Amino acid sequence: MALAEIGRRGETGVDRAAFSAEDRAARRLLYVWAGECGLEASQDSIGNLFLRYPGRSGELAPVLTGSHLDSQPSGGRFDGAYGVLASLEAVATLSRAEIRPARSIEVVAWSNEEGGRFAPGAMGSQVFAGARALADVLTVRDAAGVVLSDALAETLAALPEAAPRAAGPAPSAYLEAHIEQGPRLDRADVPVGVVVGIQGCLWLEYEVVGAAAHAGTTPHEYRRDALQAALELICRLREMCLKRSPTCRFTVGRMAVEPNTPNTVPGRVTFTVDFRDADPVGFAELGRELRAACIGAACIGAACIGAAGALQACELHVRELFHHVPETFSKHLVDVVATATRAQNYPEFELVSGAFHDALFVAKVCPVGMVFVRCRDGVSHNPLEYAAPSDVTAGARVLMSALLQLAAE
């Protein structure tokens, strides 16, 4: 709740954009709290902040744990911030109890997970994992024209006490605690979840081209109505996906209609599809068919949308915006989290994350695992986002137990 005062919006909302003054203040507060536990601070070239609890053996690769401090423009108090603070609390508890595991444990606050100010999201973890080069993001600008390189330089300079992070071995493992951001734990009345992976995600943009025409003078049989064609296309694509994979996610979240006037037949419509699935085979097969969707009498194959109705009179162009295959977490780390859950006397509840997390990209360099905690009604990215004290405590206990196991290996 103290951290949520930084960037507070209304009674319970948070607006703490990456590399902003609020983000710098949050990093400063985290650094102060870490100093009270004797943790060593460092930051890397993209602004990821690391807080190290030294283990008995400096030669062993550390265990990494954490999440992010930045928020959505109209976000809540728990998304990201909970994972950082649960990690800090776990390490602080070990420090107070004078428990020194073999491996060091590092708490990390990843830079720019949300991507709300500077796109793309998960920028810090991607650069850390080598999935994206630092040079590729330094020229990105926000809506006000601020260049990321300038905002990043201010952020690094604002915490001179944190030494530049030295090169070292890849972490032995990474654990991330997070609110679920969905309703499954809440509906099942379970406080903690064991995450076994993250759904794959495919973003596509569809452009349907017809012809603008007068709404009053053009009979329906002569129209090339792009909006009507787009609606038919959306319904058929959605039906195809849900019929083949009932557990997949199919979302049309953005649509632009041109010329967008009340008395004109739409001549051009673009819309996006966000498709997600946890099954690698289903994700790959349906992804291919969504990319290959076509309209008109010349279409063949399962991805053909058909030749009837408004679709036949229009053209279709499909462009891929983003693609990431499903991530199945390390069986060993899933087992460690499950064991820790049982040891704390909580029900063992496995689930797949439908949202991206930094763990998705850190998985490129080391085994990863996640601990989910229940959030009320599954609400997230919203000022009403809430997790009960007993649930955030449960997640921190499971996290600390799992960290102790991994740091002893």
**pLDDT tens-digit series, residues 74-103:** 999 999 999 999 999 999 999 999 999 999
DSSP state of 62: P
Contact by Cβ (8 Å): 373, 387:
yes
Helix axes 21-36, 148-157, angle to 10 degrees: 30
Q: Look at residue 166 in the predicted model and tell me its pLDDT.
A: 85
Report, as an integer, the average pLDDT of 380-384: 96
Q: Which fold has domain 200-324?
A: Alpha-Beta Plaits (3.30.70)
Out of 166-180, 257-271, 299-313, pick the least confident.
Answer: 299-313
Q: Look at residue 327 in the predicted model and tell me its pLDDT.
A: 95
Detail the DSSP E strand segments found in 34-162: 40-43, 49-53, 63-68, 105-110
Residue among 156, 60, 145, 75 at smallest CA distance from 106: 60
CATH code of the region 3-199+326-408: 3.40.630.10
Cα–Cα distance for residue pair 210/228, rounded to 1 Å: 10
Q: Is the pLDDT of residue 194 over 80?
A: yes
Residue 290 phi, psi dihedral angles, 5° rounding:
-65, -40
Strands 63-68, 105-110: pairing kind: parallel
Which amino acid belongs to residue 246? Answer: P
pLDDT range class, residue 295, cuts 50, 70, 90:
low
DSSP state of 30: H
**Do 3-199+326-408 and 200-324 come out as alike in CATH topology?**
no
> Counting Cβ atoms within 10 Å, is residue 317 exposed (0-12), middle (13-18) or buried (19+)?
exposed
| 351: its two tokens | 């689930």
Q: Kindly report the average pLDDT of the chain as a whole number.
A: 94
Report, as an integer, the average pLDDT of 355-372: 96
Q: Is the pLDDT of residue 131 over 60?
A: yes
Residue among 252, 143, 164, 145 at smallest CA distance from 204: 252
Cα–Cα distance for residue pair 49/258, rounded to 1 Å: 45
Strands 105-110, 49-53: pairing kind: antiparallel
Q: Look at residue 294 in the predicted model and tell me its pLDDT.
A: 74
Q: Look at residue 167 in the predicted model and tell me its pLDDT.
A: 81
**pLDDT tens-place string over residues 299-354:** 434 445 554 556 668 999 999 999 999 999 999 999 999 999 999 999 999 999 99
Task: Indicate the domain borders of the chain.
Answer: 3-199+326-408, 200-324
The number of beta carbons lying within 10 Å of the beta carbon of residue 208 is 29
Cα–Cα distance for residue pair 232/210, rounded to 1 Å: 14
Cα–Cα distance for residue pair 315/271, rounded to 1 Å: 14
Question: Across-strand partners of 214?
Answer: 264
CA dihedral (332, 338, 341, 345) positive or negative: negative
Report, as an integer, the average pLDDT of 145-171: 95
* Full-model pTM: 0.89
Residues of the chain above pLDDT 90, percent: 93
**pLDDT tens-place string over residues 204-240:** 999 999 999 999 999 999 999 999 999 999 999 999 9
Strands 327-328, 192-198: pairing kind: antiparallel
